[in-house]
Structure 1
Amino acid sequence: MNTFTPTIYMALIGLAFTAGDKIETARVNTPSGPIDGLKTQNKHTGMNLHEFRGIPFGKPPVGPLRFKKPEPVDKWTDVLDATEFGAGCPQTVSEYTPDFAPRKMSEDCLFLNVYVPGSLDENRKLSVMVWIYGGGFMAGFSSQYDGGWIATQGNVIVITINYRVDILGFFTLDHPAALGNYGLWDQKLALKWVHDNIESFGGNPDSVTLFGESAGGWSVSFQSLIPSNQGLFHRIIAQSGVVNRLSIMTKKQINDRTIELAQKTSCPINNMFKFVNCLRDKDYSELLEATNMESSMPQDRIESYQTPYFAVVDGELFHDHPISSLDDKSTEVAKFFKSLDFITGYTSNEGLVLYFIIFPKMQEIYEFNVTEGIPARFICEGMVAPFVELFYKNDTDVKQKMCSFYTTESSKDEQSMRANHFLGDIIFNHPAMEMLSYHTRLGGKSYQYVFSREKHIEWGFAPLPEWATGSGHGEDLQFMFDMHIVMPSLNETQFTPEEKDLSDKIIQYWTSFAKTG
């Protein structure tokens, strides 16, 4: 039987405490080894909480393990100090959102955090919610999301996990030298660790919900289409992002990325294994610079419908495009997806993210000021045209119909909103409806939501223009997580009574779903 031993000592703990504070800790003995975590209170609910930070679930993916599936961490016998968050995985720090980057980065980043409400008792059998962060598979880190709010208010165990992003997480050659999907493998390994160890924290391994937002939502839906995950989780919530027909890299994209990467790193590609070994010898900062979207994006059109690296058909996680596997109810993929209770949805104006990626040069070329509105010409030539070229083989009929549908002469404000809706529809809204349709036809328990509360986050940019209405991408997160540590602008945010009520309801809905479906 596991035992819990509370102790008190002094320490400097991350960003949550300062030197001189008394830190009360508690110990849990897991199959992986003994762990000391923090005993504290959540500031939103005032309820007791145990936090176990920076628990390793995989060996550091460095040296020969770079660009490979993660390996499980070895068991330990000494007590693991889990009072500080582990490093975030390497990623490019955007000049637009510097607060969105981890305080510390390292390739030794395969850590997770466990938030346990109330007392530590292995017999509690609490439902478990595992959070996967978003960031376009280019950024994000687990300590950005304080799970204590959901844990204490909903009486569930919340776990946040790290996974590799950008080139270190999704580099691929469509060749045995580098098959890709390492970030998805990281998530899968973390889920296995949770399954094997969560009972020691008082969790129920037979009641696990996977939830995430944006690329975290894509990750959730990717994991729901991997039959070997059977038993690791039982319900899924995909917020503002699901797998769609554009979610898998094509062979042409892989080839183009490979040639570009070889040129930027001076690594020869005459032998793929030697090419990968050359990349392994590079500092990760050089690899990130070689795939930096901000420095390589065109200035006359929106082409950021996909990031440089994302998921691929690797012959192991995916033998075919995962969406295609849902067309046949008899496939193992379809059977597993059906077995999972499923919630997905989006904000009322996901496309508001467009405002942040229309760069000054684009406005100069098309002769407009984005704060005053987005003209029809830019929608047709700068947005619809590159999208149709990428995904519809430059079909002129498709291009004309899309241009006509998303433009109007009624008003400049309405025209601007249609530009937003185009981006939101193709990336978030339509894919969500398609996945819901698949799940419903398979006979699964499916639910949909739309988040429409307007409470704009500036994300380090200037305030949104007056024509930008509705709830933007990611603006639901502030109602679920305490994010002020990494988003200082949120630190002064005070909820109105109506917003506090909305936050309570979201957490109630999500945690009730996690418990009963």
Structure 2
Amino acid sequence: MSVDRFCETMCIATIAVMFGCVACITIKTPVGAISGIQETLTVDGRPYRMSTFLGIPFAESTAGENRFKKPITKAPFLSTFDATKNPMACFPSHLGGEIKYGKYVNFSEDCLNLNVFVPHSFEKNVSLPVMIWIYGGSFVEGATAIFPGEGISAFGDVIVVTVSYRLGMFGFIQSADGKLPGNLGLWDQHLGIKWVHDNIQAFTGNPNDVTVFGESAGGASVIFQSLYPGNRGFFQRVIAQSGSALAYWAVHATPNAEPLIAKKGCERAPDPVKCLRALTPRQLQDDDTSAWQPVIDRDFLLASPQEIIFGNSSHTQNARNFFASLDLMTGANNFDGAVYFRDVWPFIFKTTDMNTFNLTRGQFTGIAIPSIIADAIKPKNHNIASIMGKLLDFEYTDWQLPNDSATLLFSLTNMSNDVGFFYPVVSTVKGHSSLRKGKTYLYELSAVPTTHTLQTPNWIQGSNHADDIQYVFGYPLYAGPRSTGNYTEEERRLARGMVTMWTNFAKSGDPNQPEDARRFTNATWAEYDLNSQSFLHFTNQGALPGSRFEARRMQLWLDLIPTIALMETPQAHGTGTVHVPEIIIGK
């Protein structure tokens, strides 16, 4: 019996135990033979034959001497690789991430792998568009296993690939001396994207028709990948959901390694990096998750995202031209900012019960506004901070009900929406559209889900952060592992519309074709430009065209606040350089 035949026999025996009535398939790829599973799934009432390949490694283990180094391309397989088992996940930066995702995965430093979902059983010769998913999780947690791609792949007739990358200190640690380089998680993503380009044809995918998409930190990640010219030719389109590289939370402005080195007792070691490498992953983990974001390393990121997109330096021209060449779809959920009521405000207001929290005017002006200014704007002197505080108070207070707790909570949510999500997204589409090359599309989701993805205060009636994922991945359309099983017909219709438009964009660069999404949304999605500033608003009842998204508040963040920020530091004006104020640049 040949090695391939033996592996396929073993695969069938394993799958029979795991899944029941399914079959195996082995395909030949440039890196060797890979065996996966085939099963019939019912999606939106129709049977689909799905071929799934799990946990395919695209890089060598990042343990030992490879920890804190750029990923190394995985050597070709010497025998058939068994891609029928749940993939290993990369360690999160904190134990809480393991607890959260441990029911889905096991963790390892040999975790740079990807999953491939193919919507057929290789019975025909086709060349399908490819969508590469990069998960979110604040750059400190997340796993591919919690994003099954069968629904969007089958219903949209695309190949879906979900890519893992290192998280927290494992993926984003940078030291002042450069021995810890930073941005390793971005290099991981890049290598996974390159692997898809080099190998996806064996899975019947078109390597010249690739879209990268992601949500939250994954949304920021795909914008980062769009600013790295080394990705040219590897993908042509980008979908960034509720995340942008222009968000204040997406970039760490200074080296971040020294506090961890001191906390782990390595600051006096002859070689602090060697000392960190000697720790186990769990010894390395830490409860402080605030420092682990991408950095401006002059290698992957030649400059800040603002300077690349809005500048005119010859140094960043290749990065800017690559970003401009791509088709871009991006947007946000109408209550994205509600995520702060789970992750941020409980620590600041010292309460975990946000359902009955009574926000006072004193807390709004004395705690919430200064916190947002300190995190997102970072003024360099007290006078500017005071002006910013009065400006935000004036703009976000409902002056007919200035002391009403419920009204203040919504005001705080709007402020959280704007600073964390709306402003970065709108700034991204304005920057992309101004370059006048690729197509640009903007959306908002405000549907009220049956089940929120994240813990959500009961007074929120709309889409919280991450609520979009269930519709984009088509969970309401099939009884997959992430389906709640109690979706409404409205939600199934919404999922049909969003899956169709997302996969249309992946196929053509236009969410309106080739499939007719209007039968689900009752709307045509107009392209965004600086004159019309069109966007599409997804609701429970369908989709509504709109223009000039939250125009007054966006103008506040796009123009007025940067103008005030510029007042505090005289700006030098060198030839060929634009000087961007340090607003929404990073922690």
Question: For residue 44 of structure 1, what is the aligned residue in structure 2?
Answer: 43
Question: For residue 375 of structure 1, what is the aligned residue in structure 2?
Answer: 360
Question: For residue 218 of structure 1, what is the aligned residue in structure 2?
Answer: 220
CA contact (8 A) 1:52 1:115 kept: yes
| Separation in structure 2 between the aligned mates of residue 226 and residue 61 of structure 1, nearest angstrom | 22
CA contact (8 A) 2:105 2:145 kept: no
CA contact (8 A) 1:145 1:483 kept: no
Structure 1 residue 18, shift from structure 2 partner: 5.2
Look up the equivalent residue of 1:292 and give its one-letter code: D
| Separation in structure 1 between the aligned mates of residue 267 and residue 103 of structure 2, nearest angstrom | 32
Question: For residue 83 of structure 1, what is the aligned residue in structure 2?
Answer: 84
| Separation in structure 1 between the aligned mates of residue 268 and residue 221 of structure 2, nearest angstrom | 30
Q: Does 1:249 align with 2:252?
A: yes
| Separation in structure 1 between the aligned mates of residue 462 and residue 439 of structure 2, nearest angstrom | 29
Q: 1:128-147 to 2 correspondence within 5 Å?
A: 128-147=130-149
Q: 1:102-113 to 2 correspondence within 5 Å?
A: 102-113=104-115
Q: Does 1:311 align with 2:294?
A: yes
Structure 1 residue 370, shift from structure 2 partner: 4.8
My pick for the range that moved more, 384-393 or 63-72, is 384-393
Alpha-carbon spacing, 1:382–1:269, altered in 2? closer, same or farther (3 Å): farther
Alpha-carbon spacing, 1:417–1:152, altered in 2? closer, same or farther (3 Å): same
Structure 1 residue aligned with 2:118, among 106, 116, 119? 116
Q: 1:26-425 to 2 correspondence within 5 Å?
A: 26-45=25-44, 46-91=47-92, 92-94=94-96, 98-99=100-101, 102-120=104-122, 123-244=125-246, 246=248, 247-251=250-254, 254=255, 257-268=256-267, 274-289=271-286, 291-293=287-289, 307-328=290-311, 331-357=317-343, 362-363=348-349, 370-390=355-375, 391-393=378-380, 394=382, 395-409=385-399, 410=401, 411-425=404-418
Alpha-carbon spacing, 1:491–1:448, altered in 2? closer, same or farther (3 Å): closer
Question: For residue 421 of structure 2, what is the aligned residue in structure 1?
Answer: 428
Question: For residue 561 of structure 2, what is the aligned residue in structure 1?
Answer: none
Structure 1 residue 473, shift from structure 2 partner: 0.5
For 2:108, what is the secondary structure of its paired residue?
coil
| Separation in structure 1 between the aligned mates of residue 219 and residue 460 of structure 2, nearest angstrom | 24
| Separation in structure 2 between the aligned mates of residue 504 and residue 369 of structure 1, nearest angstrom | 33
| Separation in structure 2 between the aligned mates of residue 26 and residue 237 of structure 1, nearest angstrom | 31
Look up the equivalent residue of 2:291 and give its one-letter code: P
My pick for the range that moved more, 406-415 or 230-239, is 406-415
Alpha-carbon spacing, 1:483–1:103, altered in 2? closer, same or farther (3 Å): farther
| Separation in structure 2 between the aligned mates of residue 69 and residue 30 of structure 1, nearest angstrom | 24
CA contact (8 A) 2:50 2:119 kept: yes
CA contact (8 A) 1:267 1:278 kept: yes
Structure 1 residue 245, shift from structure 2 partner: 5.9
| Separation in structure 2 between the aligned mates of residue 497 and residue 211 of structure 1, nearest angstrom | 26
Q: Does 1:508 align with 2:507?
A: no
Alpha-carbon spacing, 1:422–1:210, altered in 2? closer, same or farther (3 Å): same
CA contact (8 A) 1:11 1:21 kept: no
| Separation in structure 2 between the aligned mates of residue 398 and residue 65 of structure 1, nearest angstrom | 45
Structure 1 residue 122, shift from structure 2 partner: 8.1
Alpha-carbon spacing, 1:287–1:378, altered in 2? closer, same or farther (3 Å): farther
Structure 1 residue 322, shift from structure 2 partner: 2.6
| Separation in structure 2 between the aligned mates of residue 483 and residue 278 of structure 1, nearest angstrom | 45
CA contact (8 A) 2:26 2:35 kept: yes
| Separation in structure 2 between the aligned mates of residue 149 and residue 364 of structure 1, nearest angstrom | 40
| Separation in structure 2 between the aligned mates of residue 161 and residue 368 of structure 1, nearest angstrom | 35
Structure 1 residue 54, shift from structure 2 partner: 0.7
Flag structure 1 segments of 5+ consecutive residues without an equivalent. 294-306
CA contact (8 A) 2:135 2:142 kept: yes
For 1:103, what is the secondary structure of its paired residue?
coil
Report Cα offsets for 1:309-363 as digits up to 9, x if no partner: 1111112112211320222456111110111000000001111112213566654
For 1:94, what is the secondary structure of its paired residue?
helix
**Identity, % of aligned positions:** 31
Question: For residue 437 of structure 1, what is the aligned residue in structure 2?
Answer: 430
Aligned length: 486
Report Cα offsets for 1:182-205 as digits up to 9, x if no partner: 000000000111000000110100
| Separation in structure 1 between the aligned mates of residue 76 and residue 110 of structure 2, nearest angstrom | 17
Structure 1 residue 118, shift from structure 2 partner: 1.3
Structure 1 residue aligned with 2:441, among 429, 440, 447? 447
Alpha-carbon spacing, 1:100–1:270, altered in 2? closer, same or farther (3 Å): closer
Report Cα offsets for 1:21-47 as digits up to 9, x if no partner: 244101110000000000112343431
TM-score (normalised: structure 2): 0.77
My pick for the range that moved more, 90-99 or 173-182, is 90-99
Task: Give me the CA root mean square deviation.
Answer: 2.8
| Separation in structure 2 between the aligned mates of residue 483 and residue 85 of structure 1, nearest angstrom | 19
Structure 1 residue 396, shift from structure 2 partner: 1.4
Flag structure 2 segments of 5+ consecutive residues without an equivalent. 510-587
Alpha-carbon spacing, 1:414–1:403, altered in 2? closer, same or farther (3 Å): same
Look up the equivalent residue of 1:405 and give its one-letter code: E
Alpha-carbon spacing, 1:223–1:47, altered in 2? closer, same or farther (3 Å): same
CA contact (8 A) 2:116 2:160 kept: yes
For 2:89, what is the secondary structure of its paired residue?
coil
Report Cα offsets for 1:421-471 as digits up to 9, x if no partner: 11111111000000100111100310000011011645574x632x32221
